[in-house]
Amino acid sequence: MPSILVALDAGVLSVTLNRPEKLNAFNPGMHEELRAALQRAEDEPAVRAVLLTGAGRGFCAGQDLSERSVSPGAAPIDLSASIGSNYNPLVRRLRALPKPVVCAVNGVAAGAGANIALACDIVLAARSSSFVQSFSRIGLIPDSGGTFFLPRLVGAARAMGLALLGERLSAEDAERWGLIWAAVDDTELASYALEVARTLAAGPTRGYGLIKKALYASTENSLDTQLDLERDLQREAGFSEDYREGVAAFMQKRPPIFKGK
Ligand code: LHQ
């Protein structure tokens, strides 16, 4: 069985984490398959949005803890290799992908699984799902961008509580706290997430890529730097065919037909 299921339809590359018996926990093979899927998303012009979700009752339980034998008294393990070669490149790839990534959190998202969801551009979650910064429960720190995303999304106090206590945060609280875009009824999640992804896939793809670039850069930049960046990115957006189509459609009072160019 592949660890990642991939299907392209109507511009949406659906990518499903597929190790349901382990709540879709990551092993090296799953990382490799996910890398290939996201490379495809980057390379193929026909892909104009990505929809990431999980098979079964969980979204992703982070690193597969049964992959290594870790026990008291055993030789210490250097975790940086796996983070450096798998998790960090994955987070960087999701953020840098010049196409929107929708994440449909279908069940529990724990450890790196929670933070990989937060690395996506629009996060939707089933009402029964939850987010757990479970790292502290096994003596680790939030990785996969957790220490970056959490304080920026929910503020310092809530970030620290989530990281230290490792308690489950319900999808509804995650929405209320601003951690995610929306919690939706369990039965609606798949169809709603697909609808959002399809809407994005029919949109001005180049403009979306530039929006991602601008917003993600803003957390690091001064207002001056950001204003300059907006000028430069708007220049690029203005050169796109989709911009010309958008304005023409507005003037002609008709829906635009964006081609992603
Ligand atoms: C699992 C896992 C799992 C294996 C559930 N592994 N089997 C990066 C780089 C290098 C190293 C270290 O880490 C990292 C980043 C990380 O992600 S560290 C954090 C790793 N993840 C966790 O600590 C989460 C561990 N899992 C849990 O706390 C719970 O399973 C959650 C809260 C996710 C779900 O709880 P429940 O809904 O009560 O399900 P469950 O605990 O009964 O799990 C169901 C099955 O899935 C169970 O197997 P079994 O054979 O008993 O049915 C679990 O053992 C298995 N599973 N997570 N990460």
Which atom of ligand 1 is closest in space to residue 83's alpha carbon? 9
Query: Could you give the CA distance from residue 44 to residue 50 in angstroms, rounded to a whole number?
Result: 12
Q: What pLDDT, on the 0 to 100 scale, is given for residue 74?
A: 83
Give this prediction's pTM. 0.97
The total of other beta-carbon atoms located within 10 Å of residue 148's CB is 16
Q: How far is 208 from 205, CA to CA, in rounded Å?
A: 5
Q: Cα(53)–Cα(14) distance, rounded to whole angstroms? A: 8
Neighbours of 128 (CB within 10 A): 16
How many angstroms separate the CA atoms of 54 and 23, rounded? 8
Do residues 61 and 22 touch, judged by C-beta distance below 8 A?
yes
CA of 178: how far to CAs of 53, 141, 152, 164, in Å?
A: 20, 22, 10, 19
Place of tokens 């495809």: 40
**pLDDT value of position 196:** 98
Q: Tens-digit pLDDT profile for the chain (261 aa)? A: 899 999 999 999 999 999 999 999 999 999 999 999 999 999 999 999 999 999 999 999 999 999 877 888 888 889 999 999 999 999 999 999 999 999 999 999 999 999 999 999 999 999 999 999 999 999 999 999 999 999 999 999 999 999 999 999 999 999 999 999 999 999 999 999 999 999 999 999 999 999 999 999 999 999 999 999 999 999 999 999 999 999 999 999 999 999 999
Ligand 1 center to 13 CA (angstroms): 27
Give the Cβ contact number of residue 59 at 10 Å: 29
Q: What is the pLDDT of residue 68?
A: 78
Q: Are 10 and 22 in contact (CB under 8 A)?
A: no
- Residue 190 DSSP symbol: H
Q: Which positions ≥6 away from 242 have C-beta within 8 Å? A: 204, 205, 206, 207, 256, 258, 259, 260, 261
Please identify which residue in the block is written with the tokens 């990534």: 101
Q: Is the CB of 140 under 6 A from ligand 1?
A: yes
Which stretch of DSSP H or E encloses residue 88?
helix 88-96
Query: CA 108 to CA 15: how far, in whole Å?
Result: 17
Distance CA 159, CA 199 (A): 32
Ligand 1 mutation target, pool 19, 27, 31, 65, most atoms within 8 A of CB: 65
Residue 138 beta carbon below 6 angstroms from any ligand 1 atom: yes
Which pair of structure tokens corresponds to residue 19? Answer: 């190790």
Ligand 1 pocket member 86 (CB < 6 A): no
Any ligand 1 atom below 6 A from CB of 23: yes
Separation between Cα atoms, residue 167 and residue 161, nearest integer Å: 9
**Distance between CA 131 and CA 165 in Å, rounded?**
12
